[in-house]
Structure 1
Amino acid sequence: MEPVPAGRTLDRRTLLRIGGMAALSAGAGLPPARAGSSAPAGPSARTGPRPSDWNALRRGLEGRLIRPGDAAYDAARRLFDPAHDAVRPAGVAYCANPSDVAECVTFARRLGVPLAVRSGGHSYAGWSTGTGLVVDVSPMRKVSHASGRATVGAGAKLVDVYDRLAAHGVSIPAGSCPTVGVSGLALGGGIGVVARKYGLTCDVMESVQIVTADGRLLTCDADHHPDLFWASRGGGGGNLGVAVSFGFRTHRTREVTVFFLHWPWRRAARAVRAWQAWTPSVPDEMWSTLHLSRSGGTDVQLAGVYLGGKAECERLLDRLADRIGPVSSSSVRKRSYRQAMMIMAGCSSLSVSQCHQDGSLPGQTRDGRLSRAGFTAKSHLAYRPISEAGAERLAAEVARPGDHTVLMDALGGAVGRVRPDATAFPHRAALYSVQYYAHRSGAAAWARRAHAAMRPHFGDHAYVNYIDPELRGWRDAYYGANAARLARVKAAYDPGRLFRLPQGV
């Protein structure tokens, strides 16, 4: 996540390798179905859509339905990871508003069409696509701010959220990947760049609008549908309905300090041990991510953001360096908050418009420079420091031939001051998250091996936003003691399991 040289095209692989609607009344129904819509046909409705049904859906949308044979189909069906390019949806609906979403939900329920929900298209397992109808919320991407509160459409990409809120001198805690959709991030929790100071993305969520399986638009907050609101803060995207808009509490922004430090590989295990002891001891204003990388060579990198001055940041970093040893290179610089988020996104040399994928579909830009990338990923959450033997084993796994990175993001601070059952995200006691991220030939085999090797050291906790289709015991790993309550919320709001994932609650 260090600055990218001018003129260089950035994809997620490079990023991680080098560093990384107005509210409606609670429970309100949607307007009556429009002419040509897919309104329920009654109890005798057959299952399975005919071409005329798809045409009726197309006419009933204010947005755009793209079907096989349409010129934009090949572009519309793709996710971020090319590994899922073989999936061919029967339709991709770019929904312009909640009524469009309700049309799609009703269509799928009435005709028995499998439904997938997509915001940024970054689902690690590819579960934001499928062979039925893909509901894409990218057109609902408006970002506004008033009186300390941001209203953010579910399709807004993180780079646009940061940029538009920066115009008001505010922000929300969120992640670093610029083309991730805010919906998927927030619904799964939202580990991000200033989490230790301001919490997870879901911790500043004050309301969420969701179209449920029965086609209703519900505004959920602490007083309205509180169980669904609870589940929407860490219960994972695509489980309970289609989120269309969020209300977030914002924080004021100011100049910050951005840093990158590197050490020689021989200090990798020592860096892990020192960093995991150092990060809980520093002020909440300090957030960091430690990367052990093997990509054309080995590298130990610490990157991060300090919400304060350069001198104090350097003093805190010196304490860490004293434990690890002399750095091989370092950069510590003051930046505006907006610049810092662009740097963390790997877009320091790009404009906001360029910090997107190229294209004409919602969420893309004509001058976008970001590429798609194939990868395999798995995760752990570290609830306690790993031993010297564990750190040595982690370094040894990274040193194996291949193109891969282990990324460790600091938690604690504000994240840890929330009760594990206050939101659906249970991992409040975790010291840091761990992601095993691999590319190219042998990626899946390396990720499996490294994950298995570190299981005795990290345990069985995992992050639902790094969803892993191979994970055993995923219900406990993702949700812990919150799994039972999540299942009750699911049964109440989607008893027919219209929203169905292989690892769905």
Structure 2
Amino acid sequence: MTDIAQLRTVTSAEVILPGDNGYDRLRRVWNADIVRRPAAIVRCRDAKEVAAALTWSVANGLEVTVRGGGHNLAGTAVIDDAVLLDTAPMNGVVFDLAAGTVTVGAGCRWGDVDRPAAEHGVAVPAGVVSHTGVAGLTLGGGAGYLARMYGATVDFLVSAEIVCADGRILTVSETEHADLFWALRGAGHNYGVVTSFTFRYVPLPGLATIRQAFYTAADRREVLQFYRDWAPSAPDHVTTYARLLTCPPYWSQVAAAHRGKPVLSVATVHYGDPALEPALTAPMFAQATPVYENLRTVPHVTLQHATDDEFRYGIGHYWKHIFVASLADEVIDTVIDWSDRYPGRPLQAHANIAHQMLCPFEVIGGGGAMARRDTSATSMSSHGLTWGANIGADWEFAEEKPELVAWAKGFADAMGPFQGGTYINFASVQGDEEIARQVYGANYDRLVAVKRSYDPTNVFRRGLVDLSGGES
């Protein structure tokens, strides 16, 4: 049996073993449903420390996992009895204002980037929660509030430093190891340990104005029918979110008659001059009389942190994501039916109602730059479909899980006839070859070829899907 403590003799990184101070804290990930005990946690400060720990672990027959922000739903950053390569100490953020780029360590979370970027009046298009890891979100594609204006996070990746399965440290870009660079931008959980990312940034697009309204169950179908026609054709700087949920009984901002009842939340996020927002978004909110309305204008960096508590650590999650071509009446009816069957409890935390929240079902208005992006440039794919939707089961106590997971699977099955693919960053379980083909479509065979070139023995088999092509 390998003496795991020997890791301390081959790397200058801090090696934390079971029983050491910090072990139980550092093995935890965002999804509280994931409780696993790695054989060792290696706190790497640079690519050389990663390479040393990786090559020793592979030579001694130990599995290896990689943790950036630890936000991945499936919890693949940590498995029992493996060596966990923790990149959290790589937390540098360096701006090159002359080049218009920022280089970010793999251990950073998006708040670490958003805050200094705002001081320079710029942003990197990313996600919607500040404690999401830069690495995981980027390697899966990345989309958030700025996606309709600018596109996916991977569209702004200029280069990356990666430690390959054989311990080589490479810089990859469109001109260096271009095949691997292409694969990393959407399927990057499967190819190595990325230790830094260099992004192009964009100018901050002005203040964000968020308008939200709640509608009763009786109005949901009509409002959603209008939403499907209006949201994709809205200006690029307006993104529209629709969410179905039960109004929590403690939300006193909503009249008592509507608490504990099904509601539809519609929210628009408008970037730019707040004075121009009312005229642009008015049609969306003119379809029915809301039972609650809220309007706020905030800087982008504030918006990026606004729902951190809703998506806080300590909650269990099981999500399904689907791309659909249209929100036909049959789709809307299915969504309403299954949302009303949700067996869970509202877990929202804010006293003020946030425009984004944990909920049984969410659909995001498509179009804009995401529809125009060159999908051949990266391995990320939306399968050319307009709508991305999330089915979410969330719980605090283990006994709540079985019924909620069964509901999420049933909902996803009911949506199966309308589904055209899925987004890998919202996968709650590690997928097999069949799932990989669903996620990456026509890109699958090319991704397998890149995998065989850079990781022929499938060292990074704990990626979110199997891209080995059946070989290991």
Shorter-chain TM-score range: 0.7 to 0.9
Partner residue of 1:393 out of 307, 312, 334: 334
Give the 3 Å change call, closer, same or farther, for CA 385–233 of structure 1 in structure 2. Answer: same
Residues 51 and 341 from structure 1, CA distance in 2 versus in 1: closer, same or farther, beyond 3 angstroms?
Answer: closer
Is 1:453 the equivalent of 2:417?
no
Task: Please state whether the residue corresponding to 2:332 is helix, strand or coil.
Answer: helix
Matched, 1:329 2:302: no
- Closer, same or farther: CA 453–295 of 1 in aligned 2, 3 Å: farther
TM-score when normalising by structure 2: 0.86
Q: Give the distance between the partners of 1:123 and 1:461, measured in 2 at CA.
A: 19
In 2, the alpha carbon distance for the partners of 1:246 and 1:432 equals 29
Q: Which consecutive residues of structure 2, in runs of 5 or more, have no partner in the other structure?
A: 249-259, 345-358, 468-472
Residue in 1 that maps onto 2:427: 467
Structure-1 residue corresponding to 2:252: none
2:390 corresponds in structure 1 to 435
Q: Structure 1, unaligned stretches of length 5 or more?
A: 1-47, 348-354, 356-369
Residue from 217, 227, 250 that aligns with 1:275:
227
Aligned pair in 2 of structure 1 residues 400, 482: CA closer, same or farther (>3 Å)?
A: same
Deviation at 1:430, TM superposition (A): 2.3
CA contact (8 A) 1:108 1:115 kept: yes
- Residue 410 and residue 381 in structure 1: after superposition, are their counterparts in 2 closer, same or farther (change >3 A)? same
* Distance 1:172-1:53 versus aligned 2 partners, 3 A rule: same
Q: How far off is 1:470 after superposition? A: 7.5
The 1:456/1:51 distance shift into structure 2, 3 A limit, reads closer
Tell me, yes or no, if the aligned pair for 2:94 and 2:103 is still in contact at 8 Å. Answer: yes
Residue type of the alignment partner of 1:127: T
Equivalent position SS for 1:421: helix
How far residue 134 of structure 1 moved from its aligned partner, in angstroms, is 0.7
Aligned counterpart, 1:45: none
Quote the offset at 1:401 in angstroms: 4.1
Give the Å deviation of 1:344: 4.7
Provide the rounded CA distance (Å) in 2 between the counterparts of 1:173 and 1:374: 27
1:266 aligns with 2:209: no
1:305 aligns with 2:269: yes
In structure 2, the residue matched to 1:504 is 466
Going from structure 1 to structure 2, the CA distance change for 1:183 and 1:111 (only over 3 Å counts) comes to same
| Among 424, 433, 442, the residue aligned to 2:379 | 424
What residue identity is the alignment partner of 1:56? T
Aligned-residue RMSD, C-alpha: 1.9
Stretch moving more, 483-492 or 309-318: 309-318
Task: Determine the C-alpha separation between the residues in 2 that align with 1:410 and 1:245.
Answer: 32
Q: 1:224 deviation in Å?
A: 0.4
* 1:9 corresponds to: none
CA distance in 1, matches of 2:453, 2:430: 28
Q: Which of 29, 35, 38 is residue 79 of structure 1 equivalent to?
A: 29
Select 2:92's aligned residue among 138, 142, 146: 142
The one-letter code sitting in structure 2 at the alignment partner of 1:103 is A
Alignment partner, residue 410 of structure 1? 365
- Of 412-421 and 206-215, deviating more is 412-421
Asked whether the 8 Å contact 2:4–2:40 carries over to 1, the reply is: no
| Deviation >6 Å, runs of 4+ | none
CA distance in 2 between partners of 1:124 and 1:341 (Å): 20
5 Å matches for 1:188-227?
Answer: 188-227=140-179
Residues of 2 paired with 1:153 and 1:218: CA distance? 15
| Offset, 1:168 | 1.1
Is 1:145–1:168's contact at 8 Å kept on the other side of the alignment? no
Q: What is the aligned partner in structure 1 of residue 184 from structure 2? A: 232
Which of residues 134, 151, 154 in structure 2 aligns to 1:182? 134
**8 Å CA contact retained: 1:143, 1:165:** no
Output the amino acid matched with 1:54. Answer: L
Q: Which residue of 2 aligns with 1:363?
A: none
Distance 2:33 2:343 in 1: 18
Question: Partners of 1:333 and 1:177 in 2: how far apart?
Answer: 18
Shift in CA distance, 81/52, structure 1 to aligned 2, threshold 3 Å: closer
Aligned twin of 1:7: none
Deviation at 1:428, TM superposition (A): 5.7
Instruction: Find 1:256's aligned residue among 208, 211, 233.
Output: 208
TM-score by length of 1: 0.81
In the other structure, the counterpart of 2:8 is 55
Equivalent residues in 2 for 1:16-165 (5 A)? 49-57=2-10, 60-61=11-12, 63-85=13-35, 87-130=36-79, 131-147=81-97, 148-165=100-117
Shift in CA distance, 376/52, structure 1 to aligned 2, threshold 3 Å:
closer
Contact 2:124 2:153 in 1 (8 A): yes
The residue type paired with residue 388 of structure 2 is S
Q: Secondary structure at the match of 2:59?
A: helix
| Amino acid paired to 1:380 | I
Cα-to-partner distance string for 1:83-124 (whole Å, 9 max, x where unaligned)? 221x21001111111111111211122111101111111221
1:51 to partner: Cα distance? 4.4
CA contact (8 A) 1:293 1:406 kept: yes
CA contact (8 A) 1:171 1:250 kept: yes
Distance 1:345 1:193 in 2: 14
**1:173 aligned onto 2:125:** yes
Identity of aligned residues (%): 30
- Pair 283,132 (structure 1): closer, same or farther in 2 beyond 3 Å: same
